[in-house]
Structure 1
């Protein structure tokens, strides 16, 4: 993950400088940035089917039993009140 951020932080300014130096002007920076975004979204789009079968990472706050751990002990009779 960190490598992807490092790559984006180095390639973005490089592309912007290259486009500006190539005499496309500052308008070319917008086109370069948009093309860089499209190039980043293409592999993300094609990797979606690989991740759809996986469940979300477990989070203790998301489980049903963790509310007692987070909120403290439940009052007596709380389970009976929920069932009625």
Structure 2
């Protein structure tokens, strides 16, 4: 499931064990440097390249997961 993968990526990058999938990345302490790490990890683990501007506009796990699911080829 994409949401759980994205949550795990954010958890590692932010060094947080618990947070809601609807919490904003920046309110959790994220910054642009961590966002580049997350961008790289999403591409590596899920196989979808997400543009940096999309990560800034869709700054919750739920929002970016929906974006990634829409970008995945139909199975």
What TM-score do you get using the length of structure 1 for normalisation? 0.26
What TM-score do you get using the length of structure 2 for normalisation? 0.28
From the CA coordinates, give the structure whose radius of gyration is larger: 1
Larger relative contact order (Cα-Cα within 8 Å, sequence gap ≥ 6): 2
Higher helix share: 1
